[in-house]
């Protein structure tokens, strides 16, 4: 029986584990992949206090390292189901069942797909969702980046380290990304833009060769040659496994109060998976600290 089980070892889950363990609680941190979450797919993090620039994987390693000495049990597995039995919470992975007095859900968010013809067929054959993982395979290529948010613009700038040119296609004529990132992209000679346009189809025999584009204002359709397509059109919550618990909103984001409490007593949600305005490493870490303290209070008062 654990005092708390934290599901997901991104920055939110890691911080919750740190705070809970420092309150001397028995803590398990269950992760299905590499600790660090989305930070592992991030080239440069420039807005985490204390670092002017650090690579995502390096920050992930630095955050995770201290947990071992604090006695946090790191369990590998994908959580498939949660059940409440009285006040006990049961957590099911494919192979095991764990019991805990409290639960912290920190499963984050996952890149959305475009849903156009060719996208799935050419996935990993020129279609990518991770510039930091795949960028180096596209030396001297002409690349297309889809989206107008922080991810698209930041990763487009990163891709210019390898690519001949990087074209950002956005469905409006104005980017959503932070001003500083926009300015960096506009100033980069390798970056071009296709405005007011969407991808209709990604084409290629075994590898991406071209992309069919529609201008949403004029209806004009054109085909452009690209060696790779990087898709950054936003995020969906990773909350499928809790959809029957009644703690999510209509889009699947988990609803909490400012103590990170969900509608179920003893279950907390933190980081990107939570309904919130700003999804960042800093806000994930802040959520994690609050939940780590809250489980300590809950256990002191209820168990």
Phi-psi region of 7 (alpha: psi -120 to 50; beta: other; left: phi over 0): beta
Q: Which does 78 bind (CB under 5 to 8 A by kind): ligand FAD, ligand NAP, none?
A: ligand FAD
Q: Measured in whole angstroms, how far is the alpha carbon of residue 194 from the centre of its chain? A: 26
Q: Is 280 helix (H, G, I), strand (E, B) or coil?
A: coil
The residue among 150 and 294 lying less far from ligand NAP, judged by its C-beta, is 150
Count other C-beta atoms under 10 Å from residue 288's C-beta: 29
Nearest-approach distance from CB 1 to ligand NAP, in angstroms: 36
Nearer to ligand NAP, 9 or 231 (CB): 231
The minimum distance between CB 11 and ligand NAP, in angstroms, equals 12
Of the pair 56, 266, the CB lying nearest ligand NAP is at 56
**Active-site residue (options: 3, 95, 130, 287):** 130
Of positions 2, 3, 5, 13, contacts ligand FAD by CB under 6 A: 13
Query: Which residue ranges make up the site for ligand NAP (CB under 6 A)?
Result: 47, 114, 146-152, 154, 171-172, 176, 198, 232-235, 279-280
Q: Which residues pair with 223 in a beta bridge?
A: 212
Supply angle C-alpha 56, 169, 279, rounded to 5.
Answer: 35
The residue range among 116-124, 178-186, 245-253, 277-285 that interacts with ligand FAD, by the rule CB under 6 A, is: 277-285
Q: Tell me, yes or no, if 130 is annotated catalytic.
A: yes
Contacts of 224 (CB under 8 A, 6+ apart): 144, 167, 194, 210, 211, 213
Of 295, 291, 303, residue with least CA distance to 257: 291
* CA separation for the pair 197, 211 (Å, rounded): 12
Dihedrals phi, psi of 301, to nearest 5 degrees: -85, -30
Cβ(21)–Cβ(290) under 8 Å?
Answer: no
134 catalytic, yes or no? Answer: yes
In this structure, the chain runs to a length of 303
Strand 127-128's sheet: what is its strand order? 127-128, 228-231, 142-146, 165-169, 191-194
With CA atoms as reference, report the closest residue to 81 among 245, 229, 227, 293: 245
Binding mask 132-161 for ligand FAD (x = CB under 6 A): -------------------x--xx------
**Is 140 an active-site residue?**
no
**Of 116 and 131, CB closest to ligand FAD:** 131
- From the candidates 3, 95, 134, 277, which is the catalytic residue? 134
The residue among 204 and 274 lying less far from ligand FAD, judged by its C-beta, is 274
Q: Which stretch binds ligand FAD (CB under 6 A): 28-36, 179-187, 208-216, 259-267?
A: 28-36
Nearest approach, Cβ of residue 48 and ligand NAP (Å):
9
Which residues does the annotation mark as catalytic?
A: 130, 133-134
Which residue ranges make up the site for ligand FAD (CB under 6 A)? 7-13, 30-33, 37-39, 41-42, 45, 47, 78-79, 106-109, 151, 154-155, 238, 241, 271-272, 279-282, 284
């Amino acid at each position: 029986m654990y005092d708390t089980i934290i599901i997901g070892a991104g920055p939110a889950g890691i911080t919750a584990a740190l705070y809970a363990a420092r309150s001397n609680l028995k803590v398990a941190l269950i992760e299905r992949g590499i600790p660090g979450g989305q930070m592992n797919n991030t080239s440069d993090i420039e807005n985490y206090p204390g670092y002017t620039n650090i690579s995502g994987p390096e920050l992930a390693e630095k955050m995770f390292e201290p947990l071992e000495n604090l006695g946090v049990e790191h369990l590998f597995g994908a959580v498939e189901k949660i059940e409440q039995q009285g006040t006990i919470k049961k957590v099911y992975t494919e192979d095991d069942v764990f019991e805990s007095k409290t639960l912290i859900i920190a499963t984050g968010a996952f890149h959305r797909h475009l849903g156009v013809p060719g996208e799935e067929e050419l996935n990993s054959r020129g279609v990518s969702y991770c510039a930091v993982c795949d960028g180096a395979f596209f030396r001297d290529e002409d690349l297309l980046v889809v989206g107008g948010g922080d991810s698209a613009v930041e990763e487009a700038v990163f891709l210019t380290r390898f690519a001949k040119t990087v074209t950002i296609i956005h469905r409006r004529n104005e980017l959503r990304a932070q001003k500083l990132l926009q300015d960096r992209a506009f100033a980069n000679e390798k970056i071009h833009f296709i405005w007011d346009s969407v991808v209709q189809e990604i084409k290629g025999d075994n590898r991406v060769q071209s992309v069919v584009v529609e201008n949403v204002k004029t209806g004009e359709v054109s085909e452009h040659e690209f060696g790779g397509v990087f898709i950054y059109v936003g995020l969906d919550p990773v909350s499928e496994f809790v959809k029957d618990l009644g703690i999510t909103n209509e889009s699947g984001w988990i609803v909490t109060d400012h103590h990170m409490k969900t509608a179920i007593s003893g279950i907390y949600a933190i980081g990107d998976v939570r309904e919130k305005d700003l999804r960042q490493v800093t806000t994930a870490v802040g959520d994690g600290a609050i939940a780590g303290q809250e489980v300590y209070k809950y256990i002191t008062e209820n168990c």
